[in-house]
Amino acid sequence: MKIYLATNYKTVNPVREAIESISGRLNLQLYRADYLNIEEQIVPQIIETIKKSDIVIADISNENPNIYYEVGIAHSLDKPVILVSQTDNFNRFSLLSYRFYKYDINPTGIRNLAFRLEQILSSPNEIEELKPIQPTRQVLTFKEFSGNIQLQNILQLNGARRGYEFEQWVFELLRDIPNLEVEHGVKRKDGEYDFIVWNSNSDKELESLGNPIPIEAKATIKIGNDLLYSLASKASLQGFKSFVLITTAEISYSNERLIQSLKTNTGVSILVIGFNELQNINTSKDLYWAIKKSFREYFIS
């Protein structure tokens, strides 16, 4: 697969690093226009290079005009375009209508970006959806989760490995729920979240959870009430209306009572998907309905 990388980095390039880390497994060839050539050669070189590429990856972090030009050419040629950025604070309002993937410039951020790019580039359906003209989907269509790592295998692991694989499993399920945009490993001023989910579904129950929705994935045996207090306080301070906790622990009666109390005292709705619910989750559709079921059980009398 031929990848055209649109970026204005001259030396250290985190997006290139992410792509190169997966290029061997996916047999990727990386191209970009050489901006060191004289000006007259730039435009035809860009057009020809994009034309022979299968997909374009564009880093729009700095809102560079050259990058926008390359994205425009790619769209005119009906090429799939993956937009990535270090920020979501764009001056160009038109970008808000396009899907993009946020990343951090650190080893963890680059690994997360590489993981997400590998998932996209391995899926013909996802690549097709990245083309510029797509019909609006009115009906939710869920992808069957077919990852190699299943929950029962994860539960056999120990330590950090168990937590990592559980988080990746949850990520796979979340990202395949239609009309959800999932950011992985999101750092905010007062703390870090495993996931931040932006919801564009018209589902009234999901809308009532606010936007975005922070999600934590905990591969633990027990959930203490102190953790629930901490999660509710952090979410409240940051202005979130809700919080989703997905855990391998069984939820106790004490946990359930505290969740109800925290909703009253902090205004934050904590949805919990525990071990009993996880055993019935194999697809993104299962997780979607588990979230709705949790909302109904805790907050609809």
DSSP 145-207: P--S--HHHHHT--HHHHHHHHHHHHHHHHHTSTTEEEEEEEEETTEEEEEEEEE----HHHH
Beta bridge partners of 238: none
**CA trace torsion 256, 259, 260, 266 (10° rounding):** 170
Same domain, 101 and 177: no
Q: What is the mean pLDDT of residues 268-294?
A: 86
pLDDT at res. 137: 42
Comparison of pLDDT for 152 and 28, the residue scoring more: 28
pLDDT at res. 45: 80
Same domain, 104 and 28: yes
Count how many domains the chain has. 2
Q: How far apart are CA 81 and CA 71, in angstroms?
A: 7
User: Cis ω on the peptide bond leading into residue 212 (within 30° of 0)?
Assistant: yes
Q: How many Å from the N-terminal Cα to the C-terminal Cα in the chain?
A: 53
Task: Copy the structure tokens of residue 187.
Answer: 């750092």
Domain range spanning residue 181? 151-300
Q: Cβ neighbours of residue 121 under 8 Å, at least 6 residues apart?
A: 1, 3, 22, 26, 28, 55, 127
What's CA 274's distance to the chain center, in Å?
A: 22
Comparison of pLDDT for 217 and 109, the residue scoring more: 217
Q: How far apart are CA 272 and CA 235, in angstroms?
A: 14
CATH of the domain at 238: 3.40.1350.10
Q: Establish if 68 belongs to a structural domain.
A: yes
pLDDT band for 27, please (50, 70, 90 cuts). very high
Same domain, 78 and 162: no
